[in-house]
Amino acid sequence: MNFNSIHYLIFFPAVVLGYFIIPSKLKNIFLLISSYYFYMCWMPQYALLIFFSTVCTYFAGYLIEKESKVISKKIFLGINIVINIGILFIFKYFNFFTSSLQSIFNILNIHIYLSDLHTTFLLPAGISFYTFQALGYSIDVYRKDIKHEKNFINYALFVSFFPQLVAGPIERSKNLLPQFSTDHKFSYDNAVIGLRRILFGMFKKVAIADTIAIYVNCVFNNITNFTGLTLLIAIFLFAVQIYCDFSGYSDIAIGSAKVLGFNLMDNFKTPYFAVSISEFWSRWHISLSTWFKDYVYIPLGGNKKGFKRKLINLFIVFLISGLWHGASWTFVIWGALHGIYRIAEELYRHSVKPLDFRYSLFNRLKYVFKVISTFAMVCFGWIFFRANTINDAFYIVKNCFQNINLLQGVYDAYDIISSSVMKSYSFVLLYIISVIFFVLTLFIIELRQNRKIQNPNQDTIYDKLKVSTRWFIYWGLSIIIIFCFIIQNGIFGQTGQFIYFRF
């Protein structure tokens, strides 16, 4: 089930009502059934995979805690990791692995044919997310960070809790598991905070990301038809699209959980205002970045084994992170690129003393320069992330600064929108105005949030607003969301799929 569907619009209020009406003892069972129903609406048989992963990690946790010998604990943990990563490998990476191997065989003129081994499985939605969450739990038990959860229902709910099941945030057992042992009573304040977050999440996803996607998809899917400004706009807009798509999903997930009384971790903190790539990764998909830090980077030795080893560890983590995002060389290159960025950054920091100006104006300019240059580097990375093939990515790199012509850009934009959606002057005009308006609105909201991050005592946007203004904003956002939803359904027969559902 998608968050941006009529189905969820009925499902979620029904779950909330049910959850707060039924007796406390049954609440978690009810949530568990709801979560499985949520997942099974997409492909019922794949719920078995979640159940299998849940059972494996549950018993692994039990055995690891019960066993007193370290070697036995290690064996149980190892088996658990192999099983879970094995499932992930079969469903997500097997075809990529065999086709890559086949390419190597072809180059080496080895006559082994692996094409018959190709599987036809559909990628189970959210498999990378719940696998990592469940693995995190067993590693936490192994490290004695938490105790094994004895209540299987609570644990199964931890793995399959519907708001964050298919695209995170990848929760930590320490944060989420104890919340299933608490009796959550209905709170009006929680409901308001949660619903507000859902509304903003929907706005980001349905209004901004899916609207922008029309332009971006057309350019990236017909890449050789375009050069110059059109490519640059598409790269910039994809950066906005993927942020709104994924952070929108996280907002809906966090908001949905909040209405039910659960607190999920923040997944984004105005990442495009980061002043370095390392800061970007502490603000972008935080739950994944910290997962890799805690469960890969630190076990590899982190920064404790010398500077060179630290750089190698960083590169390995980013390479794996790239592969985690998708079974394709474009993602591997994207991950490697970020690894190289981080290494370059570490080398720079290691060898150059940071500039500090006397005048605050210069410091501000330095800040702006850093933000822009970090954003530019991230955008460069998005080329590889979004491109359909490596050749496409290199075509963009080669041609995005060729034939920069404003008129051509406007002409292309008109052509793209009218051919992708509808031949209507008024629609194309509204589309262009909307995209500019949405991007500016997003920029202003992000700017305020960024200030709030830097100064946590500052009021949130809402605290200062009158009730009537708040209601007006909710009204306006709802109208825009519904209208965009109807357009997407009317033209394309469906609303946009979340990009991170594929991961």
Partner 1 sequence: MKKLLSRSFIFIFIILLTFLLLFLFTTVGLGAQFQESYNYVINNKYNYLITEKEPKIIIISGSSGAFGINAKQIEDGVGYKCANISLHADFGMKFQTEISKGNISKDDIVVISYEIVHWNNSHYSAELIMTAIDNNIQLYKYVPTEEYVDIIRYFPTYLFKKLDLAMKPKSKEQNGVYRSSAFDENGNMIMERLECKLNEVVDKEIYGEIVMNDQVVSEEMINYVNEFNDYVNSKGATLLISFPPMLDEAVTSSKDDIAKFQAYLEENIDAPIISNPNDYILEREYFYDTIYHLNSKGEKLRSDILIRDINNYLNQHIN
Catalytic residues: 325
The two most distant CA atoms of the chain are separated, in Å, by 73
Site size toward partner 1, by CB under 8 A: 23
Tell whether residue 20 is a contact of partner 1 (CB under 8 A). yes
Query: 84: how many CB neighbours lie within 10 A of its CB?
Result: 22
Tell whether residue 424 is a contact of partner 1 (CB under 8 A). yes
Q: Which is nearer to partner 1, 379 or 422 (CB)?
A: 422
| Binding test (CB under 8 A) with partner 1, winner from 121, 369, 401, 475 | 475
Tell whether residue 10 is a contact of partner 1 (CB under 8 A). no
Residues 169-228 that bind partner 1 (CB under 8 A): 186, 188, 191-192
Tell whether residue 7 is a contact of partner 1 (CB under 8 A). no
Q: Which is nearer to partner 1, 42 or 427 (CB)?
A: 427
Sort residue 84 into left (φ over 0), alpha (ψ -120 to 50) or beta.
alpha
Compute the distance between CA of residue 424 and CA of residue 360 in angstroms, rounded to an integer. 50
What does 303-359 look like in DSSP terms, one character per residue? TTT-HHHHHHHHHHHHHHHHHHH-SSHHHHHHHHHHHHHHHHHHHHHHHSPPP--SS
Residues 30-49 that bind partner 1 (CB under 8 A): none
Tell whether residue 426 is a contact of partner 1 (CB under 8 A). yes
Q: Which is nearer to partner 1, 69 or 185 (CB)?
A: 185
Closest distance of CB 6 from partner 1, Å: 10
Q: Which is nearer to partner 1, 344 or 482 (CB)?
A: 482
Rounded to an integer, what is the distance from CA 369 to the centroid of its chain?
26
* Residue 327 main-chain phi, psi, to 5 deg: -85, 75
Compute the distance between CA of residue 88 and CA of residue 222 in angstroms, rounded to an integer. 32
Closest distance of CB 180 from partner 1, Å: 22
Tell whether residue 489 is a contact of partner 1 (CB under 8 A). yes
Compute the distance between CA of residue 503 and CA of residue 497 in angstroms, rounded to an integer. 12
Position 325: which residue type? H
Closest distance of CB 482 from partner 1, Å: 7
| Binding test (CB under 8 A) with partner 1, winner from 59, 380, 474, 501 | 474
Closest distance of CB 425 from partner 1, Å: 6
Tell whether residue 422 is a contact of partner 1 (CB under 8 A). yes
Question: What is the torsion angle, in degrees rounded to the nearest 10, for the CA atoms of residue 301, residue 304, residue 307 and residue 310?
Answer: 30
Closest distance of CB 487 from partner 1, Å: 4
What does 45-96 look like in DSSP terms, one character per residue? GGHHHHHHHHHHHHHHHHHHHH--SHHHHHHHHHHHHHHHHHHHIIIIIHHH
Binding site for partner 1 (CB under 8 A): 20, 186, 188, 191-192, 422, 424-427, 430, 471, 474-475, 478-479, 482-483, 486-487, 489-491
